[in-house]
């Protein structure tokens, strides 16, 4: 098997949308500070781009969770690989993710963070696949709703590849033997 990547959302579209999201989020937190919790590894590209578009004071921390490993299907088990460095009690926490798919990762993570008593807790995702949800997750800010296709780029990987692509693309698997 080899794979091809078809562009789904161009670099220009992604960056234009992130600017819009930055304005909306800055408006919401006006007069307050926001503490971004970036979800490694996938969320890091979107976090950097979004953070540059926020006009309110920003602080930043990272948490690493994983449930896909090298598969295109969720294992169903969310593993914490790295916890936050700092406490979030009393902070306005905005979780920044690349994608909400089955919802398992974010449902687990939001419950986990809620128990640490932040002042507020909201979720921002670049991509959302609403039709794939197996667990309810409330998303406050969505960049794009996309269909049920496995996507890469802008932080998202297939077998750890393509995270650095500046656009969002769909992975198309090609059977070498069928050629």
Catalytic residues: 101
Which option in Mg ion, ligand HPA, ligand PRP, none does residue 151 bind, with CB closer than 5 to 8 A by kind?
ligand HPA
- The H-assigned helical ranges of 29-103 are 44-51
| Helical axes 44-51 vs 11-28, angle rounded to 10° | 60
Residue from 68, 108, 141, 154 binding ligand HPA (CB under 6 A): 68
Please name the residues in contact with 31: beta carbons below 8 A apart, sequence gap of 6 or more: 56
65: its two tokens: 């969770």
User: Which among 132, 137, 93 is positioned nearest to 115, based on CA atoms?
Assistant: 93
- Helices and strands: H and E segment counts in the chain: 3, 9
CB of 156 to Mg ion, least distance (A): 8
Which of 120, 133, 132, 140 lies closest to 50 in space, CA to CA?
A: 140
In the window 98-137, what residues touch ligand HPA (CB under 6 A)?
99, 101
CB of 151 to ligand HPA, least distance (A): 4
Among 14, 29, 42, 137, binds Mg ion (CB under 5 A): 42
Q: Which stretch binds ligand HPA (CB under 6 A): 4-12, 22-30, 109-117, 151-159?
A: 151-159
**Alpha carbons 120 and 47: distance in angstroms, whole number:** 18
Minimum Å distance from CB 117 to ligand PRP?
Answer: 23
Give yes or no for residue 96 binding ligand PRP (CB under 6 A): no
Specify the DSSP element, H or E, that contains 79.
strand 79-82
* Residue 150 binds which of ligand PRP, ligand HPA, Mg ion, none (CB < 5-8 A, kind-dependent): ligand HPA
Residues that bind Mg ion (CB under 5 A): 42
Residues that bind ligand HPA (CB under 6 A): 68, 99, 101, 150-152, 156-157
């Amino acid at each position: 098997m080899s794979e091809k990547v078809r562009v789904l959302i161009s670099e220009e579209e992604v960056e234009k949308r992130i600017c819009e999201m930055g304005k909306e989020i800055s408006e919401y937190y006006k007069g307050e500070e926001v503490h971004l919790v970036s979800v490694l590894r996938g969320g890091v590209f979107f976090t950097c781009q979004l953070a540059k578009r926020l006009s309110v004071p920003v602080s930043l921390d990272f948490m690493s969770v994983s449930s896909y490993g090298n598969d295109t299907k969720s294992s169903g088990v969310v593993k914490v690989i790295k916890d936050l460095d700092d406490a979030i009690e009393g902070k306005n926490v905005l979780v920044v993710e690349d994608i909400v798919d089955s919802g398992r990762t974010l449902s687990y993570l939001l419950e986990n963070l809620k128990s640490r008593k932040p002042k507020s807790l909201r979720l921002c995702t670049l991509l959302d696949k609403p039709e794939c949800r197996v667990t309810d997750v409330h998303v406050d800010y969505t960049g794009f709703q996309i269909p049920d296709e496995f996507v890469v780029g802008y932080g998202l990987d297939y077998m750890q590849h393509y995270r650095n692509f500046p656009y969002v693309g769909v992975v198309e698997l090609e059977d070498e033997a069928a050629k």
